[in-house]
A and B are shown apart, each in its own frame.
Chain A
Amino acid sequence: MISNIKNAFIAALMAGVIITPIYGLQIVRSGMETHIEPEWDLVLIGMGIVFVFQAFIRPTVVHLLGKRSGSFQMPVLNDKARRGSILLLIAIALIWPFFMGRAEVDIATLVLIYVMLGLGLNIVVGFAGLLDLGFVGFYAVGAYTYALLYHWAGWGFWGALPMAGLMAGIFGYLLGFPVLRLRGDYLAIVTLGFGEIIRLLLINLYDYTGGPDGISGIPKPTVFGMPMARRAPEGQTTFHDFMGWQFDNMDVIIYLYLMALALALITLFVSNRVIRMPVGRAWEALREDEIACRSLGLNPTNIKLSAFTMGAVFAGFGGAFFAARQGLVNPESFTFLESALILAIVVLGGMGSQVGVILAAIILTVLPEVAREFAEYRMMIFGLVMVLMMMWRPQGLLPMKRPQVELKS
């Protein structure tokens, strides 16, 4: 007990040193002058919290967890439960937007984009075990492919979408080729480097990409070639005129949502199939023992490349859709923080677990919108959550039980 108190005291002192220069002595500018505004209560509160935590709360929690191990764990889903919950989610997702307001459906569309991105990165990180910190680069390639095709050649969404995936896939292949033989943490940093290089190129190649201002005026997807708008450009019929319906702005929102849902479902389908295919088994084997794989004739670089490229293609699709939804693209949307966010979705959900990733995408997209007053603290909490997740539940919220191939006698 005494040692606990002593440790807690030291911890509180350290907390004091940590908090004081950042929160305890705030630098305030008044006109030309700067002076310090001491806020000692913040420091004392912080020290107090740390003290109480270290002295009383932590030992108690450790004591409790020691007694009842496993009782605080969230359920691990089996196959039937998984399929059931996915079908239920899809059903809800289809019906839901017709009963909701504009803001909700808008956020939902954003969620679906992140579901797509999360599932895409899940293939790279969760299935193949490759830590890609530059995923946002492929996202940017997809978005800018559509933007540039529209800006320079007048292409519409449906024509540009496959091109966006293709370009992102090519980038993924070219980048992956030299890089995938590197060790885990080096791979992470190199991919981060690539992501940043892409962003910096987008900022600096002003003549092609519009530089920091980006490209705007990007059109939304059409319905079978018919624009969904109040008025159609010269020579074209709007979708509503064609159907004889009254135009309502909400319809555009819902349409975008449904398209996003379709893309997300395709991503889900592919991701679901691919782990049950030979390449999925190869990813798993490669994560376990690369040398054994090589001794059996498997080429590790090619196998990793397939995951890397696949993830890139989905990021490309997501990017194109993002461009369509926003109507504009600029390099600011494609920072490292975006990669970190998508990584957090995969990690939080449970690497490899699709339901987990979907859930995490929902949580990480909706919460910041809902808790808007706490916007400043948002990023702080985000970082903290990442650290805490790694400490308490690195396998994610809903770790998946691997789908195993069974031999039936």
Chain B
Amino acid sequence: MSEFIPQLMQQLFNGLSLGAIYALIAIGYTMVYGIIGMINFAHGEIYMIGAYVGLVTLSVIGVGSGLPIAIIILLMLIVAMAVTAVYGYAVEKVAYSPLRGGPRLVPLISAIGMSIFLQNWVAVGQGARDMAVPALVTGAMQLDIGDYTITAPYSRIMIILVTVVLMIMLHLYIKHSRLGRASRACSQDLRMANLLGIDTNKIISFTFIIGAMLAAVGGVLIALAIGKLNPFIGFLAGIKAFTAAVLGGIGSIPGAMLGGVLLGLAETFAAAYISSQYKDIVAFSLLVLILLFRPTGLLGKPEVEKV
């Protein structure tokens, strides 16, 4: 039994680092849904593209270039965020904004098409198979408790730290900046915000861009931590992140953060204590259960239908 607590702590750490990634991606889903009521099916692909751009940046700089690792990673993040910002903006302008206002299924189908397109856009461009990512951050922190050693790889600690910093920055920005206030107004009542003179198109683009940049960070960090990527990682990660967003309460940014962490923990514990093969089923089952029994999520408000 003396192993139980340290093992638990290990899984807690693993779950948190996984949850951080889900949170980063989930924010994009929740912000977009909160404002235009649409599930951006292609968001997972933005995460994937962020990872690839990070890898390309790394390859351009060159692993043996002599620059400090922190600078390299910073450059990777900045370039990935910049490129995915353009992707996010372009996808919204091309595939979603012309369809706003019509039947709800139409933008969803367009998003599905966009998702398939982007996966294969990258597959054709960079190859469909797994690609290795050089391990920039190696080593881990080790903590001995009794017989058990808790291992916290630095790459994963980095994930948690960067995510926390970004969450705080995002929270402050949404709360205090003009754009942030306008975003909150739009997510409350889009038409009203429009009538009040807010340029809703700009806010919507802004939302897509922020979501894309956060997802890109997630992509780069996870690629560095895992050491490989392929064009199809976006699909699974996207669905899980969406599950996290719904779990926390779709439309709520703190909800996305909470949901991400909870999902990461749930999945890690399921993999550790039930079976690692079934961990994906855990995520999907959780999605189904939440949508059936509490579609507004943990931090959402129940809706009353107007007759």
Which residues from chain A sit less than 8 Å from chain B, CB to CB?
A: 14, 17-18, 21-23, 25-27, 29, 34-36, 129, 131, 133, 178-179, 182-186, 188-190, 192-194, 196-197, 200-201, 204, 291, 336-337, 340, 343-344, 347, 376-377, 379-380, 382-387, 389-391, 394
Contacts and interface: CB of A to CB of B under 8 A. Distances in A.
A185 B239 CA distance: 13
B105 A131 contact: yes
Question: Main secondary structure on chain A at its contact with chain B?
Answer: helix
B39 A383 contact: no
B23 to A, nearest CB: 19
Contacts of A340: 112, 116
Given A383-B116, A385-B113, 4 more contacts: A18-B83, A25-B56, A183-B295, A196-B239
B278 A22 contact: no
A182 B39 CA distance: 15
B256 interface: no
Interface in B151-183: none
Among A22, A182, A196, find the residue whose CB has the most chain B CB atoms closer than 10 A.
Answer: A22
A155 B131 CA distance: 45
B307 A291 contact: yes
B269 interface: no
Contacts of B113: 344, 382-387, 389-390
B295 to A, nearest CB: 6
Given A27-B126, A384-B113, A190 B291 contact: yes
Interface string B271-287: 00000011011001101
A22 B122 contact: yes
Contact of A185 (B39, B59, B110): B39
Contact of A27 (B55, B239, B280): B55
Contacts of A197: 281, 284-285, 288
A396 to B, nearest CB: 11
Contacts of B207: none
A296 B39 CA distance: 33
A185 B108 contact: yes
B140 to A, nearest CB: 24
A193 B239 contact: yes
Contact of A35 (B59, B90, B114, B115): B59
21 contacts: A21-B83, A25-B59, A27-B55, A34-B59, A35-B59, A36-B60, A179-B291, A183-B295, A184-B105, A184-B108, A185-B39, A186-B291, A193-B239, A197-B281, A197-B285, A204-B278, A382-B113, A386-B109, A386-B117, A390-B99, A394-B103
A387 B114 contact: yes
B208 interface: no
B116 A22 contact: no
Contact of B280 (A194, A200, A385, A391): A200
B81 to A, nearest CB: 12
A27 B292 contact: no
A184 B105 CA distance: 7
A376 B123 contact: yes
Contacts of B13: none
A133 B123 CA distance: 23
Interface string B79-123: 100110011011000110011001111111110111111111111
